[in-house]
Structure 1
Amino acid sequence: MSRHIRLFPVQILAIGFGLIILIGSFMLSSPLCNKSGESIPFINGLFTSTSATCVTGLAVYDTYTQFNFLGQFIIILLIQIGGLGFMGMAMTFSFLIGSKITIFQRSLLMESIGTLHIGGVVKTIRRMLFGTLFFEGLGALIISFKFIPKVGFWQGLWYGIFHSVSSFCNAGFDLLGRFDPGSSLTRFSDDPVLLITVMTLIATGGIGFIVWGDIVDHKFHFRKYALHSKIMLCFTFLMILLGAVAFYFIEGPNSFGQMPTDEKILNSFFASVSPRTAGFASVDYADMSTAGRFLTMFLMFVGAGPGSTGGGIKLTTFATLLLSMYSYAKHYQDLSIFRRRLPAEAQRKAFSSIASYVMAVLLCTFCLLVANPAITAESCLFESLSAMGTVGLTMGITSDLGTFSKLCLIILMYCGRLGSIAVAMAIARRKIIPKISYPEEKITIG
């Protein structure tokens, strides 16, 4: 008797992302998408497609100099699909044509966009659609005005659209290789309008769609927000502010040394916002101090919010870790914040997520070191954290890596976008419930 294979929502998401990446790989590898009119190695097409779909930004080629308009369009389309989640994009299309969304599709959307309740999925999709159009459209308009005088109307308009989508989706891809290949935003480190616009888009996309809903529903009545939204907004503010202050004092005498005070402040905030999974750079990270790069790696590790366009271990996971440490030190039984108690499952999930994340990064770093003995451990760790955190920042080693190293980073980007726990759940098809419970025995910890 044949048995039907039943796929769970997280498995469908994992397979769906994989199929989109493969389709993008074949398209980007073809001569039709490259300015040279010749195909590129499939591994490089796969790397670029994975980086775009997983909204990472690591690139073996400069996007402007390598890909023609069709290639650039495919990259930004992959970024949009990856940023909003392919199920979110599919359900948005269903919503626009008036098709009904089934219970199973709603459960898929819960996994894809990180909603807390199945009943709020359709409302979240509607807000996600209109919010994305509003923020990306406004960002495209502002950025276009900056580039139209430099590159002409149509090119400037395309630059506005491309960089607005890439910023909002926390992708980090850019077309600024026209001015200096691989330079990202370093030529515009003194442009407050451009940097503030990009920062705002990054932060807006990074707080997550759940927070959007609370802000729309309750306006500025902070007490009415869900606990998730309160944690996200407070910790986002603190991370950006403390990161900016740290960068100002660390990099003031170093990579920001030749800048006036107002420009130092601007670039300090940009350096604090961008590593939380966007991947744009206003200064060359190879020129940063070791302390500045270490702080960048920490910010890449923490990342953005759940159900957002960003990656990392997620800010709520980091908050749960800090609360757990504080509660243990004070001998409290519960994890409490804003007069609410977190469920015990949240603590277990947070520690499992962090452990999986750290193990994956360390394993990839080790593989990169073995395959590239000439590259420093710092550069390999930086690259691994950037891939797993779907950030896209680099110390300039990406294009020098071989096939094995690229495959390691591809797997890491894929796991980083889906989440290490989600990947493990996708591999394990069934939840195994043990039939017996063994006797308890203590061990020494710490």
Structure 2
Amino acid sequence: MSDTCSFFALAVILLGGRLSFFNKVMIRESISTSSLDLKLFTRKVFKYTFIIEGISAIMLTFYWLKDFTFAEALKQGVFHSISAFCTAGFSLFSNNLIGYCDDYFVNLVIVFTSYLGSLGFYVIYDLSSFSKKFISKKNKHRLSTHTKLVLTVSVSMIIAGTLFLILSESVNPLNNNCNIFLLSFFQAGSSASSVGFNTVNIGTLSNASLFFITFLMFIGASPSGTGGGIKTTVFAVLILALLAFTFDKQNVNVFKRTIKQINLARAFSIFLLGVLWIFLS
């Protein structure tokens, strides 16, 4: 079941409702863990959402005060922070964010907010627990294999996308009026989180760039994240399985852990369904 359905199921828990055993399993599958207090996690989900969207909204609101009245700046800030974190990609501006193609502040806030949304709530929860234990110097909290894998793949996607777009668009005369690095970074981050914001007319991008950002959006966000795609973990498992097969290894390992056969089967199934959906749509 989709992450959206899981989110509403988590809301039922927070409101005091009861879930069936099947629904509990569904939620734990969505957040990629079987040993988690669902009520505690639900509270954390709403807490993280409010904090991240709130900080983003405040930053954008105060920044846009130079261009708009307070009421308009507040409306724009709140709307774009929610749209970014939920990876909706909707904008109140007629040309999306093209007017801010050279604006480092807006680009960084939007990309970082959408990236946090795409990471998945369990990863944010895990990172929060890790940072608290690290700062307080209490019992060591090790990041889960899931978190390590998500961070590795998601960051690699943004870096690879940025470098590819720089190479592809630096020779594109249609986009010489924009900062190529910022343009490439934003579109790579937007595609990797599947948020869909744009600071450039997508039609002016080269065919190579269009293919690559489509590929990034096909991979998409991470489990329990707000974005779409086949998920970063699925892509990672497929690559690891391919490497294991190439080097004739019996097991597929990641961070000294062996991936179960059932998870390999799920990854291949999701990938095939994703490809099938593309061809049928």
Residues 191 and 213, structure 2, Cα contact 8 Å, conserved in 1: yes
- Alpha-carbon distance in structure 1 between the residues aligned to 2:99 and 2:236: 35
Assess if the C-alpha contact under 8 Å between 2:97 and 2:198 holds in 1: yes
Deviations 1:172-194 (A, max 9, x none): 011012xxxxx111111011111
Question: For 1:207, which of 110, 119, 129 is the aligned residue?
Answer: 119
Alignment pair present for 1:232 and 2:150: yes
1:85 deviates by 2.8
Task: Give 2:77's match in structure 1, choosing from 142, 160, 166.
Answer: 160
Q: Which residue among 239, 255, 266 is the counterpart of 2:182?
A: 266
Moved more, 213-222 or 200-209: 213-222
Aligned positions of 1:345-360 closer than 5 A: 345-360=262-277
Q: Which residue of 2 aligns with 1:87?
A: 9
Q: Tell which structure's C-alpha radius of gyration is larger.
A: 1
* Cα offset, 1:151, TM superposition: 3.1
Q: Which one-letter code corresponds to 1:353 in the other structure?
A: I
Question: By how many angstroms is 1:90 displaced?
Answer: 3.9
Which residue number corresponds to residue 31 of structure 1? Answer: none
CA contact (8 A) 1:141 1:160 kept: yes
CA distance in 1, matches of 2:102, 2:69: 22
Which whole-Å CA distance do the structure 1 matches of 2:237 and 2:36 have between them? 26
Q: TM-score, normalised by structure 1?
A: 0.57
Question: Aligned-pair distance for 1:88?
Answer: 3.3
1:244 matched to 2:162? The reply is yes
Determine the C-alpha separation between the residues in 1 that align with 2:204 and 2:146: 37
Q: Is the 1:84–1:309 contact (alpha carbons within 8 Å) kept by the matching residues of 2?
A: no
1:380-425 CA-to-partner distances (Å, cap 9, x unmatched) read xxxxxxxxxxxxxxxxxxxxxxxxxxxxxxxxxxxxxxxxxxxxxx
| Aligned-partner Cα distance in 1 for 2:203–2:28 | 37
Provide the secondary structure at the position in 2 that maps to 1:172. Answer: coil
Contact between 2:101 and 2:199, CA under 8 Å: does it hold in 1? yes
Note the alpha carbon deviations across 1:198-225, whole angstroms, 9 max, x for none: 0000110111111112112222879811
* 1:40-62 Cα deviation digits (max 9, x unpaired): xxxxxxxxxxxxxx9xxxxxxxx
- Letter aligned with residue 334 of structure 1: N
Distance (whole Å) between structure 2 residues aligned to residue 83 and residue 187 of structure 1: 35
* 1:115 CA displacement: 4.5
Shift of 1:264: 1.9
CA distance in 1, matches of 2:18, 2:25: 11
Q: CA deviation at 1:118?
A: 5.7
Q: Distance in 2 between matches of 1:283 and 1:360?
A: 28
Check conservation: 1:302, 1:315, Cα contact below 8 A.
Answer: yes
Residue number in structure 1 paired with 2:57:
140
Shift of 1:317: 0.3
For the pair 1:295 / 2:212, whether they are aligned, the reply is: yes
2:35 paired with 1:123 = no
Q: What is the 5 A alignment of 1:12-411? A: 85-92=7-14, 94=15, 99=16, 101-102=18-19, 104=21, 107=24, 110=27, 113-117=30-34, 119-177=36-94, 183-219=95-131, 224-254=142-172, 255-259=174-178, 263-276=179-192, 277-364=194-281
Distance 1:106-1:118 versus aligned 2 partners, 3 A rule: farther
Q: Please tell me whether the aligned partners of residues 85 and 112 of structure 1 are also in contact (alpha carbons under 8 angstroms).
A: no
CA RMSD after TM alignment: 2.4
SS in 1 for 2:49: helix
CA contact (8 A) 2:230 2:270 kept: yes
Given that 1:176 and 1:184 are in contact with CA atoms closer than 8 Å, whether structure 2 keeps it comes out as yes
Question: Percent identity between the aligned chains?
Answer: 27
Verify the 8 A CA contact 1:159 1:175 in the aligned structure 2.
yes
SS in 2 for 1:279: coil
Match of 2:222, SS? Answer: coil
**Larger deviation, residues 119-128 vs 300-309:** 119-128
How far did residue 147 of structure 1 move? 2.7
- Alpha-carbon offset, residue 358 of structure 1: 0.5
The residue identity in structure 2 corresponding to 1:274 is S
Per-residue CA deviation, residues 148-173 of structure 1 (Å, 9 max, x unaligned), is 33331112111111110000011101
Task: Report the count of equivalent residues.
Answer: 273
2:229 maps to a residue whose letter is G
Q: 1:160 to 1:111 in 2, by over 3 A?
A: same
SS state at 1:85 partner: helix
Q: Which amino acid aligns with 1:213?
A: Y
Structure 1: give runs of 5+ residues left out of the alignment. Answer: 1-9, 14-53, 55-81, 178-182, 365-446
With normalisation by structure 2, the TM-score equals: 0.89
